[in-house]
């Protein structure tokens, strides 16, 4: 079975969008998307510059990590993506970047607090940070353990990956996801903007506390709740 050219093109456009949005410098970032019917994942190849990336360069792999199509090695972050796909059947695409502001919070091992309504519009609660990996986890199957650590973080905090479509991998960088590649990139852009706003707010007002729960609920649910009224039908 082969993936559609439509999915391949969507993954190409999503990867190019990372560079265009300033989320991926050099080759620091990748987008993948999963065709649930075939169980095949399309992902950016490892170390290929964005200004040289073409649709035919993308690698297609099975959910067990086997390469199905492509002459180039898949992103080294592939095992992290696969762990998320296997754990969360409701997602269809994953983004990993080293965007500057979100990565600052990841390196500090600090969650991004909800300090204003821009954050509340996109993320239902503080954006979490995972625990640090152990030396054993780093030494063996490192990238897969990043993924399992993300899944563990959401399970231990009772988080819904659709209401919190992003996470900070401790000392590493941000991941985001969505129903498709375009939505996943959208969430990665929102995450970076949220991190930048939070850092600036904490610099201006170090003692600033998260916004009240009623305000957080109002902004998130008016966009994502059962009675959402933001935007057009």
Q: Does residue 125 sit in helix, strand or coil? A: coil
Residues 134 and 93 sit within 8 Å (Cβ to Cβ): no
Token readout for 192 is: 């970076």
The active-site residue, picked from 142, 160, 217, 230, is 230
Token readout for 109 is: 């091992």
Residues near 207 by beta carbon (within 8 Å), at least 6 away in sequence: none
Residues near 66 by beta carbon (within 8 Å), at least 6 away in sequence: none
Separation in Å, CA 212 to CA 127, 165, 188: 16, 21, 25
Residues 173 and 102 sit within 8 Å (Cβ to Cβ): yes
Token readout for 218 is: 């109002």
Question: Whole-angstrom Cα distance, residue 151 to residue 80?
Answer: 10
CB neighbourhood size of 47 (10 A): 11
Backbone phi and psi for residue 129, each to the nearest 5 degrees, phi listed first:
-120, 140
To the query of whether residue 121 is one of the catalytic residues in this protein, the response is yes
The active-site residue, picked from 37, 121, 124, 142, is 121
Beta bridge partners of 26: none
Residues 58 and 42 sit within 8 Å (Cβ to Cβ): yes
Residues that are catalytic: 121, 230
């Amino acid at each position: 079975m082969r993936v559609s050219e439509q999915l391949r093109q969507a993954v190409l456009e999503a990867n190019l969008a990372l560079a265009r949005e300033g989320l991926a410098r050099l080759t620091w970032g990748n987008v993948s998307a999963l065709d649930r019917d075939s169980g095949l994942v399309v992902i950016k190849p490892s170390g290929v510059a964005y200004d040289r990336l073409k649709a035919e360069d993308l690698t297609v792999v099975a959910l067990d990590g086997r390469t199905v199509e492509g002459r180039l090695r898949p992103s080294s972050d592939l095992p992290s993506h696969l762990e998320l796909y296997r754990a969360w059947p409701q997602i269809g695409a994953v983004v990993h970047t080293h965007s500057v502001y979100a990565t600052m919070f990841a390196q500090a091992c600090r969650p991004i607090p909800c300090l204003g309504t821009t954050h509340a519009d996109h993320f239902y609660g503080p954006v979490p940070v995972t625990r640090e990996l152990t030396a054993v986890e780093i030494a063996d199957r490192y990238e897969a353990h990043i993924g399992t650590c993300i899944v563990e973080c959401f399970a231990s905090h009772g988080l819904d990956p659709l209401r919190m479509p992003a996470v900070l991998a401790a000392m590493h960088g941000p991941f985001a996801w969505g129903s498709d590649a375009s939505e996943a990139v959208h969430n990665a852009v929102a995450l970076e903007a949220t991190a930048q706003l939070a850092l600036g707010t904490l610099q201006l007002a170090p003692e600033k506390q998260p916004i009240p729960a009623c305000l957080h609920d109002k902004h998130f649910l008016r966009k994502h709740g059962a009675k959402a009224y933001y935007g057009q039908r």
